[in-house]
Amino acid sequence: DTGVSQDPRHKITKRGQNVTFRCDPISEHNRLYWYRQTLGQGPEFLTYFQNEAQLEKSRLLSDRFSAERPKGSFSTLEIQRTEQGDSAMYLCASSLTGASPLHFGNGTRLTVT
Amino acid sequence: GQQLNQSPQSMFIQEGEDVSMNCTSSSIFNTWLWYKQDPGEGPVLLIALYKAGELTSNGRLTAQFGITRKDSFLNISASIPSDVGIYFCAGPPTSYNAGNMLTFGGGTRLMVKP
């Protein structure tokens, strides 16, 4: 069990640029989740996948955000035309089923200048 | 949507003291989860509660699922410096089978003075 891996750990970008983050879940986990955490707050659910199917999206996920999990393994989260309000920690998590414990990665911290 | 309110927002205690924090909601939860987050890391699950009235321990940590299903408590006994971090309560919405689409509280930041 190597845990959930996220890359990069930190990303600084200028407003208006596109960014993409990667998440590698625990290998046998079917479910993969993206959360966003702003400073001083708890994580907020963004979206989740069961295998390669994206089954739920939060209303927080504006049309500038897109997530994929093409082969049911790793996932990418892309933010287009970044805004300063996108600055946050983006956390990926995985679980074996919807009822089993959620394992979080250490996140990608995005700073939009 | 459902919201979770945690109190206190922060605590600064002496090593060896016991700690108590709670989490309340205006709506019912069927599952209560307690996570700890260290700086620069993702949250780690400490305790999961699935039944109203349930009392569960994990080492020095004890958590309870409130009878009303609208609150939960986490106690840490004999605190040590490595207990420092942010403690979050969380739970899935009850409106449908939401699995791990969790709502998190705002966290309680714990600081321990050696």
Q: What is the pLDDT of residue A60?
A: 87
Rounded CA gap, B38 and B81, in Å? 12
Which of B101, B104, B108 to probe by mutation at the A interface, max A CB count within 10 Å? Answer: B101
Q: What is the pLDDT of residue B3?
A: 87
pLDDT band at residue B99 under the 50/70/90 scheme? confident
Average pLDDT over residues A8-36: 97
Asked whether the predicted pLDDT for residue A1 surpasses 60, the reply is no
The residue written with tokens 């093409």 in the block is A70
Check A101 against B45: CB less than 8 A apart. Answer: yes
Q: What is the pLDDT of residue A45?
A: 95
Return the higher-pLDDT residue of B62 and B101. Answer: B62
Asked whether the predicted pLDDT for residue B68 surpasses 80, the reply is yes
Q: What is the pLDDT of residue B63?
A: 98
The residue written with tokens 């089978």 in the block is B97
Name the closest residue on chain A to residue B88, using Cα atoms: A42
Q: What is the DSSP string of B40-83?
A: TS--EEEEEE-STT-EEEETTEEEEE-TTSSEEEEEE-S--GGG
Q: Which residues of A are less than 8 Å from B44 in CB distance?
A: 104
Average pLDDT, chain B: 93
Model confidence pLDDT, tens digit, residues A35-74: 999 999 999 999 999 999 999 999 988 999 999 999 889 9
Token pair of A57 as six digits: 């999206």
Q: What is the pLDDT of residue B92?
A: 87
Model confidence pLDDT, tens digit, residues A93-107: 999 988 888 999 999
Rounded CA gap, B27 and A63, in Å? 30
Q: What is the pLDDT of residue B97?
A: 61
Average pLDDT over residues B73-99: 89
**How far is B79 from chain A, CA to nearest CA, in Å?**
23
Percent above pLDDT 90 for chain B:
82
- Quote the strand ranges of chain A, DSSP E: 5-7, 10-13, 19-24, 31-37, 44-50, 53-57, 65-68, 75-79, 88-95, 103-104, 108-112
Q: What is the pLDDT of residue B100?
A: 86
pLDDT band at residue B95 under the 50/70/90 scheme? low
Average pLDDT over residues B23-49: 94
Check A48 against B101: CB less than 8 A apart. Answer: yes
Rounded CA gap, B95 and B23, in Å? 20
Q: What is the pLDDT of residue A97?
A: 87
**How far is A28 from chain B, CA to nearest CA, in Å?**
17
Q: Which residues of B are less than 8 Å from A104 in CB distance?
A: 42-44
